[in-house]
Structure 1
Amino acid sequence: MRLGIFAKTFPGTDPAAVLATVKQAGYETTQFNLACAGLPSMPDVVPADAVAAIRAAARSSGVLLAALSGTYNMAHPDKAVRDDGLRRLAIVIETAAALDIPLVTLCTGSRNAADQWAYHPDNVTPAAWSDMAAEMEKALALAENAGVDLGIEPEQANIVTSAGDAMRLIADMGSKHLKIVLDPANLFEHATPGEAHVIVAAAIDEAAGHIAMAHAKDRFADGCFATSGQGVVDFPDFVARLKGVGFDGALVTHGLPADEAPGVAIFLRRLL
């Protein structure tokens, strides 16, 4: 397993400076965001010099680019908004392929038109699933053509909320290019340490063999997100179970202040 962090944890729009900071904080890989190269996260175009700058930054820092963010609201109630998101995703997928980044991360979306990460009661409707699945089919066609995998992350406020939902979508799509990004803190909202332990363990068992990346975010019992090691997630057990199902990809932390990154690297590396 390789230890990583969201590049956006650190401020800046110069990829060389951002990735140097990633390395200095104790991480060997990153989930990159085009905002770290002075572009929108989902841009209309990625200039060739930006691709060259990111490639040079990865080489000079020694930081591997494990994934590239390509999130848009795949279940937005307005088809025109979904169409625009897919158009931008195509640019991100092309960029990932140009940089030899193997995974583009997605958001399965929400019927909440204002916020793709916010819950909406219509998320559980067949229509919401159908719209998201139609987007995913189009996205997978782009990814398969580019030789890139797509990663979906179960999120309580999104259409795909659990490992079971993710496995259902993978079965529906029938594509080897659709993978799971597993974040233990996104598998529940409120839980005791014991309840969280059971939920996370079951998710790893269900998703085994389909996990492309693991995230390392924590959550307090009251539902608020927390820095890894400070909440109810049993990270020693989480990492041990990932190893037990043969996962050897990137473990990527996020949702933490930049000044806490070095300490979290020490905490997680001990588990690896």
Structure 2
Amino acid sequence: MRLGIFAKTFSGTDPGAVLTTVNQAGYETTQFNLACAGLSSMPDVVPADAVAAIRTAVRSSGVSLAALSGTYNMAHPDKAMRDDGLRRLGIVIETAAALGIPLVTLCTGSRDAADQWAYHPDNADPSAWSDMAAEMAKALALAEEAGVDLGIEPEQANIVTSATDATRLIAEMGSRHLKIVLDPANLFEHGTPNEARIIVAAAIDEAAGHIAMAHAKDRHADGRFATAGQGIVDFPDFVARLKGVGFDGALVTHGLSADEAAGVATFLRRLL
């Protein structure tokens, strides 16, 4: 496994400076965001000089790009908003292909019109799944043409809430380009350490063979998110189980401050 971190953990719009900081904090790979190159995360256009600057930053820093963020609300109640998001996703996918980034990460969305990460009671309505799945099929057509994989992350507030939902969607789409990004802290909201361990273990078993990237975020028993190693997620067990199902991709931490990055790198590297 390769150890990584969200590039946006570190401030700045110069990709060379951002990736150098990633390296200095103890990470060898990153989940990149175009905001780290002075653009919108989901831009209308990515200039050629921006692509060149990112490519140069990768070479000079020695930090690889494990994934590129392409998140928009794939279940937004307004079709026009979904259409605009898909158009921008196409630009992100083209950029990933140009940079040799293998994975573009997605958000399966929410019926909350203001926040794609916020729970909405209509998320459980079959129409929400249908709209998201229709969007995913179009996104996969773009990804397949570009030779890039798409990664969906089970999130309690989104349409895909579990590893079971994720494998259901993969089966429906019938595409080898649709993968899972597994974050243990997003698989439950409240619980004891033992309950969390059981939920995470079951998710790894369900997602085995489909996991393109793992995230390392933590959660307190009362539901608050936490920096990896400071909550109730059993990271030694998480990493051991990932190894047990043959996962050897990037373990990418996020949800932490820049000041915490080096300490978390030390904690996670011991497990790898």
Task: Give the TM interval when normalised to the shorter protein.
Answer: over 0.9
SS of the residue 1:215 aligns to: strand
- Equivalents in 2 of 1:146, 1:202: separation in Å? 33
- Equivalents in 2 of 1:121, 1:252: separation in Å? 30
Q: Aligned AA for 1:23?
A: N
SS of the residue 2:11 aligns to: coil
* Residue in 2 that maps onto 1:267: 267
1:246-266 CA deviation, whole Å, 9 max, x = no partner?
000000000000000000000
Q: Aligned AA for 1:184?
A: P
- Equivalents in 1 of 2:249, 2:194: separation in Å? 26
SS of the residue 1:73 aligns to: coil
- Equivalents in 2 of 1:122, 1:192: separation in Å? 28
1:3-25 CA deviation, whole Å, 9 max, x = no partner?
00000000000000000000000
* Residue in 2 that maps onto 1:227: 227
* Residue in 2 that maps onto 1:62: 62
SS of the residue 2:202 aligns to: helix
* Residue in 2 that maps onto 1:36: 36
Please, what TM-score do these two structures have when normalized by structure 2?
Answer: 1.00
Q: CA deviation at 1:32?
A: 0.1
1:51-90 CA deviation, whole Å, 9 max, x = no partner?
0000000010000000000000000000000000000000
Residue 249 of structure 1 pairs with residue 270 of structure 2: no
* Residue in 2 that maps onto 1:199: 199
SS of the residue 1:169 aligns to: helix
* Residue in 2 that maps onto 1:128: 128
1:25-68 CA deviation, whole Å, 9 max, x = no partner?
00000000000000000000000000000000001000000000
SS of the residue 2:101 aligns to: coil
Gaps of 5+ in 2: none
- Equivalents in 2 of 1:190, 1:42: separation in Å? 32
- Equivalents in 1 of 2:210, 2:99: separation in Å? 23
- Equivalents in 2 of 1:239, 1:245: separation in Å? 10
Aligned CA RMSD, in angstroms, stands at 0.2
Instruction: Give the number of equivalent residue pairs.
Output: 272
* Residue in 1 that maps onto 2:116: 116
Please, what TM-score do these two structures have when normalized by structure 1?
Answer: 1.00
Q: Aligned AA for 1:32?
A: F
SS of the residue 1:138 aligns to: helix
* Residue in 2 that maps onto 1:101: 101
Q: Give the fraction of aligned pairs with identical amino acids, expressed as a percent.
A: 88
Q: CA deviation at 1:216?
A: 0.1
Residue 19 of structure 1 pairs with residue 1 of structure 2: no
SS of the residue 1:151 aligns to: strand
1:197-247 CA deviation, whole Å, 9 max, x = no partner?
000000000000000000000000010000000000000000000000000
Gaps of 5+ in 1: none
* Residue in 2 that maps onto 1:88: 88
- Equivalents in 2 of 1:222, 1:257: separation in Å? 21
Q: CA deviation at 1:167?
A: 0.3
SS of the residue 2:180 aligns to: strand
SS of the residue 2:71 aligns to: coil
Residue 156 of structure 1 pairs with residue 156 of structure 2: yes
Q: CA deviation at 1:191?
A: 1.0
Q: Aligned AA for 1:207?
A: A
- Equivalents in 2 of 1:36, 1:23: separation in Å? 15
